[in-house]
Amino acid sequence: MATVLITNGGPHSAEDWAMATAEAIFQIEPSVNGARLLQARRLQTEIAELLINHHQSIIDMERRNLQRNTQEDFSYGNALAAVQAIAHIAKDTPWEAHINGDPWMQTAHHTILNHMQSMQHVERSWHRDHQ
């Protein structure tokens, strides 16, 4: 099943994107329950909260680009920094080893970059719609 992100009345907020990214890169299996479920939800929320600032910076960058007709782009480095920050907050959790492994790091980097590119696209599209 594909996930959809819907925001009525405007573009998606950094908070919308942050939660969507957190749910994509740290998925909680339906079989997880009890204390482990609580821990997992806590970490997922922490990841989302961490991503809000990262994602807001991308939205702000794209709005500046559209206002000034510039091409500032720091998506790649920003995504990498976000992955490293998530690895840091996962320390001392049951998922520390998993999140610090190469496969998760690569998938998370790809997903965050993908979402950041989508954020830029949405901002451009709204800008075009209202010109």
d(CA 62, CA 69): 10
Task: Render 43-89 in DSSP notation, one character per residue.
Answer: HHHHHHHHHHHHHHHHHHHHHHHHHHT-----HHHHHHHHHHHHHHH
Q: Whose Cβ is closer to other proteins: residue 70's or residue 106's? A: 106
Q: Which of 31, 69, 129, 131 binds other proteins (CB under 8 A)?
A: 129
What DSSP assignment string belongs to 91-131?
A: TTSTTHHHHTSHHHHHHHHHHHHHHHHHHHHHHHHHHHHT-
Q: Decide if residue 11 touches other proteins (CB under 8 A).
A: yes
Rounded to the nearest whole angstrom, what is the least distance from the CB of residue 118 to other proteins in the complex? 4
User: Of 88-107, which residues contact other proteins (CB under 8 A)?
Assistant: 103, 107
Structure tokens at 61: 């960058």
Tell me if 43 sits within 8 A of 25, measured CB to CB.
no
Which 32-91 positions form the footprint of other proteins (CB under 8 A)?
A: none
Selected range binding other proteins among 18-26, 56-64, 74-82, 88-96, rule: CB under 8 A: 18-26
**From the CB of 57, what's the least distance to other proteins, in Å?**
19
Query: Which of residues 9 and 34 has its CB atom nearest to other proteins in the complex?
Result: 9
Cβ distance to other proteins smaller for residue 43 or 120: 120
